[in-house]
């Protein structure tokens, strides 16, 4: 049961990352663009909030799993672009992965701990 929960929480993170990073063509992508920050931030906050409430995992674990999902979505996007389009398009791929992790981790943790606070308040 625990492995299924970890899978579903990570899948939520992958969906958040895929929706936020894959909808923009790479040649038009600006990682410091405010719309991307808002979408990733809101998505990870809401995703981690509901994941903590639904699956009853520790907040730090939910935050890390959601962030892992976002990072996996970015890595899949990099592999897809390099394989099928231009092999030189992601010269700074490690920085893209680090940037997406730093972009999503704080709001994922905030959402998870906010849900934990709601759970404690309900008791």
The residue ranges of every structural domain in the chain are 2-122
Contact predicate 101/31, CB 8 Å: no
Please report the pLDDT score of residue 11 as a whole number. 85
Q: Give the separation between CA 60 and CA 71, rounded to whole angstroms.
A: 16
Task: Give the whole-number percent of the chain exceeding pLDDT 70.
Answer: 87
pLDDT of 63 reads 93
| CA distance readout (Å), 73 to 7, 66, 113, 116, 120 | 14, 11, 24, 26, 32
* Angstrom distances, CA of residue 67 to CA of 41, 70, 72, 90: 11, 5, 9, 21
pLDDT digits (tens, 9 = 90+) for 3-56: 888 888 888 888 888 888 777 665 565 555 666 778 888 889 999 999 998 888
Checking if the pLDDT of 65 tops 90, the result is yes
């Amino acid at each position: 049961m625990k492995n299924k929960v970890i899978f579903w929480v990570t899948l939520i993170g992958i969906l958040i990352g895929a929706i936020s990073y894959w909808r923009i063509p790479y040649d038009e992508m600006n990682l410091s663009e405010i719309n991307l920050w808002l979408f990733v931030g809101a998505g990870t906050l809401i995703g981690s909030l509901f994941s903590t409430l639904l699956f009853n995992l520790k907040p730090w674990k939910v935050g890390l799993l959601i962030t892992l999902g976002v990072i996996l979505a970015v890595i899949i996007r990099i592999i897809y672009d390099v394989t099928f389009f231009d092999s030189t398009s992601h010269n700074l791929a490690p920085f893209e992965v680090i940037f997406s992790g730093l972009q999503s981790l704080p709001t994922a943790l905030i959402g998870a701990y906010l849900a934990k606070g709601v759970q404690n308040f309900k008791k």
